[in-house]
Structure 1
């Protein structure tokens, strides 16, 4: 009898773990857009730091990211338990923020080119000055990266919570915890690899065998383009994920997109539906940018 009870218990545990794995996999797919943006943003945060300090800075931000998630995961489970009606509005808010952030990035890139170049030039000049406290600069970069991570982590947790909201509290906590830890390990592991990619390329380019040397030169050439590609892919994914969240929360829009996509059938229908979500996300982001920019500008002036 005890043996049968033990087997039953093991079977129950295995079933729960399998469910957790399935839910985690679904949540990871949904949050892929935020991950792309998270990766690009955090890799950019450590530019301008001395090569010897790049990995310590990434590690410091990773620890801050884990602390962020230690706050966000229990908060999300508490909201799901005590205020379950708040899950959908939070999910919609997260989707709207993704669309706004993506549109703001596009607008800032194309409408403020001179301002961006001036900022980079001032940063490079400041780094050459002996009066600049590099430790303070490093601390500022770490704090900025952790603040950025908190926002993006909140989006990931909100999206994941929306997927597992109908599950038990134990299941929600398990999935949220796995996603939180997994996202942190993957994102900051890749960030560490990216920021040291040029060092690896430089090392290989100085080796004697010609194929190894050519590989190092190729890595050095590829590194800056990889960062740009990550940023572009991350921005596109923000519209796709954010727009998808918004359309699924607005049945009329979701129905119209699905109805139009059904005419293409198969893979074509899936692509058209995804494109429709992305375009709606872009439209929503543009509206939010037009409405919120004057408010943000006014607040910044008042604060200054």
Structure 2
């Protein structure tokens, strides 16, 4: 009996070690998958704060909480099951789906560049949401969740692609960890960004000179932080989108573009002292250029061509009216 108990305890200990190792593996894989999705995460973090612009301070955190809850529902109840079914039964679709998402990211980045260079920014609402009422708040939350759905889908598919060789239960566990971690990270950072100016304003009104100076500095710094974050988001979208497209094209049989980038990375890697950094920088810039080129094509198709057609139709209408007079 004692020998049987000892054997049972040994089995339990071995099982515990195996479970701990499995948890470590899931955590490590989830970490790698999350890092691969970093560009989309930065974009998600940069986009969300604009949805609470104009609301009273007491509504900002509740709105962020509602968007975060909707984002988590998107990931866990819709995107995760669909992604798992796709990877299990139609794994060959992963690369095309990733490339569609990469094209979307490239388009988003290129569109923001186009707007910055031409001044053709999308119209912003002129009336503060707080002055409109609860229906506007509900509409803004719904819009934010819809936008988040696209970004969340891309995050989850990128993560899935990194762990596609894992068993189905491991894939499910890893994607669940990614969904929880990414949602907490994105909306935790968003909450800090949104409330930072309120914290700065509070500190600026405190009696201590150093504390008040810190508060004023924080209030002044936040617009710059948001501007930097927006720029980083654009670069990240072009970089990640371009990299997805290059790798996807290589996997589908068009090897030349990715081989060219890989050859550039190898050349830069041989530079003494700073080779690894230059190799990474060269690959990143090449991916961003590829993303910008693809995105520019999509922007031209969606924006420039319809605009020229509208201008042509307006001109034709004017001539018809003139002829009628």
1:149-177 per-position Cα deviation (integer Å, ceiling 9, x unaligned)? 10100010111111111111111111111
Q: Secondary structure at the match of 1:167?
A: coil
Corresponding residue number in structure 1 for 2:282: 272
2:212 match: secondary structure: helix
Question: How do 1:250-265 and structure 2 match up within 5 A?
Answer: 250-251=249-250, 252-265=256-269
Matches within 5 A, 1:33-112: 33-70=39-76, 71-112=78-119
Q: SS where residue 159 of structure 2 aligns?
A: helix
Match of 1:301 in 2: none
Which residue number corresponds to residue 162 of structure 1? 161
Residue 201 in structure 1 maps to residue 200 in structure 2? yes
Instruction: Extract unaligned runs of 5+ from structure 1.
Output: 299-304
Q: Is the 8 A contact 1:45 1:141 kept in 2?
A: yes
Contact 2:238 2:288 in 1 (8 A): yes
1:149 equivalent in structure 2: 148
Once residues 258 and 106 of structure 2 are traced to their aligned partners in structure 1, the CA distance between those partners, rounded to angstroms, is 16
Report 1:1-12 matches (<5 A): 1-12=7-18
Listed one character per residue, the Cα deviations across residues 211-266 of structure 1 (whole Å, up to 9, x for unaligned) are: 00100000010011111111110110011111111111223211111112211222
Structure 2: how far apart are the matches of 1:297 and 1:3? 74
Cα separation, 1, equivalents of 2:177 and 2:305: 38
Q: What's the Cα RMSD here?
A: 2.0
1:233-248 to structure 2, matched below 5 A, reads 233-248=232-247
| Bigger mean CA offset, 261-270 vs 71-80 | 261-270
TM-score, with normalisation over the residues of structure 2? 0.84
> Superposed, which structure 2 residues align to 1:8-27 within 5 Å?
8-27=14-33
Tell me which residue corresponds to 1:127.
128
Residue 110 of structure 1: CA displacement? 2.9
1:158–1:296 Cα change, 3 Å:
farther
Cα deviation, 1:3-34, whole Å, max 9, x if unaligned, reads 22212211221221121122111111111111
Extract structure 1 runs of 4+ deviating beyond 4 A.
294-298
State whether residues 100 and 284 of structure 1, in contact with CA within 8 Å, keep that contact through their aligned partners in structure 2: yes
Bigger radius of gyration among the two: 2
